[in-house]
Amino acid sequence: MDEPTPEAALRSAFEARFGRPPALVSDAGGRVNLIGEHTDYHEGFVLPAAIDLRTHAAGAPRSDDLLHVYSEPVGNEVKVSTSGLKPWTGGLDWRAYVLGPFWALLREGWPVPGADILIRSDVPFGSGLSSSASVQVALVGLGAHLARGALVPSDAARLARRAENDFCHVPCGIMDQLASACGRDRHAIRIDCRTGSVEPVPLPPDWALVVADSGVKHSVAGEEYAKRQRECEAGMAVLRDRHPHVRTARDVDRDMLEAARGALADLSFRRLRHVVTENERVLEAQRLLASRDPAAVGALLAASHESLASDYDVSCPELDTLVDIASTVPGVLGARLTGAGWGGNTVNLVRAERAHEVCDAIRDQYARRSGRRIAVRVVHASRGWIATPQS
Ligand code: GLA
């Protein structure tokens, strides 16, 4: 017998749990960021892609105002009435991530009804591939449809970010949500995080993306992420004093930064040097992708990792080892940490015809060096958020 499609399997699981079919399935991508790390909250540039590791949310409206959400990855459920939703207090856990999207919609006047909801996801949790953004985008999309409204993907991203910033109190930028919502098959997207503009950038068909999971969990909700923002902000105060047109680090160039070096704490100088040079690398990578110069894109990935490790200080020994191993594996064009860092995955740009050998080689060499076997897999640049009515 044929295997059911993932959507049919989700429908059956929903029926088994709630005793009726779902009205809608909403599905959003995890993401891998090719380049442009820790630039989004400085209104800079990023070049991520949505991937084929995804979160699906199936839902059906209820006649009362109860949100009954079951998360398969967590193996638990939460029940809250829509009128009782308020920003999360206390320790952050999965419930905040699944309730925040409904709060964000309600706050902007969407008449979200009570609903039964089932979440299924194959985006690994806490591994820098945006499991939380994909859940939040999928749920914003689901909630908007249940409220009988039309939502464009960029608004799904904006609301998902609002949920993360103002409900979960996590000060993330807009990259993950825009990638998850606005991704395109076989494309990366170049995002200008000041204007929110999204440009599709075709990925050459003879290149593939491999992600290698360091096995070290990280969370953007941790103290270090917010600390980087404060360290940059201390330097930005000096730069704004000198240059009235400067609003964020996006407006700073190398000469301005170099000229201010003596007035900046070394830490702030290095943090900002990462942001300024990383923005340049994103724009350069976009140009090189158009000219299909893989070696040059690979070198930019290597430079990005080096800058993240030494200037922004967000790498860890496991990620450095993975990047080091990748530099010796035939078929790898370049590698770097992807996402916030401190753990999670590396992204490797590889020759498509060698992608599976590359996965084996990285896995084996990492096991030899560390004694641990990790997940190394090919991911495909995929579409972003999509909602499918079920009747
Ligand atoms: C996390 C955040 C993003 C971005 C990256 C670092 O993924 O959610 O907004 O800041 O870290 O580039």
Q: Per-residue pLDDT tens for 341-356?
A: 999 999 999 999 999 9
Cα–ligand 1 centroid distance for 256 (angstroms): 25
Instruction: Please work out whether the CB of residue 176 comes within 6 Å of at least one atom of ligand 1.
Output: yes
Nearest to 38 by CA among 382, 319, 321, 339: 339
Residue 233 · residue 226 · CB < 8 Å: no
Nearest atom within ligand 1 for CA of residue 172: 9
- Please report, rounded to a whole number, the percentage of residues in the chain having pLDDT higher than 90: 93
* Average pLDDT score over residue span 234-238: 98
- What residue owns the CA closest to ligand 1's atom 8? 172
Question: Residue 72: beta bridge partners?
Answer: none
Cα–ligand 1 centroid distance for 129 (angstroms): 10
For the record, the structure tokens of 223 come out as: 């103290």
Instruction: Please work out whether the CB of residue 43 comes within 6 Å of at least one atom of ligand 1.
Output: no
Q: What is the pLDDT of residue 222?
A: 82
Instruction: Please work out whether the CB of residue 38 comes within 6 Å of at least one atom of ligand 1.
Output: yes
Contacts for 287 with CB less than 8 Å, ≥ 6 apart: none
Cα–ligand 1 centroid distance for 38 (angstroms): 6
**pLDDT surpassing 90 at residue 221:** no
- Taking CA atoms, 16 is separated from 9, 118, 205, 357, in Å, by 11, 11, 41, 41
Q: What is the pLDDT of residue 1?
A: 61
* Average pLDDT score over residue span 292-304: 94
Instruction: Please work out whether the CB of residue 48 comes within 6 Å of at least one atom of ligand 1.
Output: no
Distance CA 314, CA 218 (A): 11
**pLDDT surpassing 80 at residue 236:** yes
Q: What is the pLDDT of residue 371?
A: 95
Residue 151 · residue 144 · CB < 8 Å: yes
Q: Which residues are catalytic?
A: 176
Of the listed ranges 31-45, 273-287, 377-391, the least confidently predicted one is 377-391
**pLDDT surpassing 80 at residue 150:** yes
Q: What is the pLDDT of residue 76?
A: 97
Average pLDDT, the chain: 96
Q: What is the pTM of this model?
A: 0.97
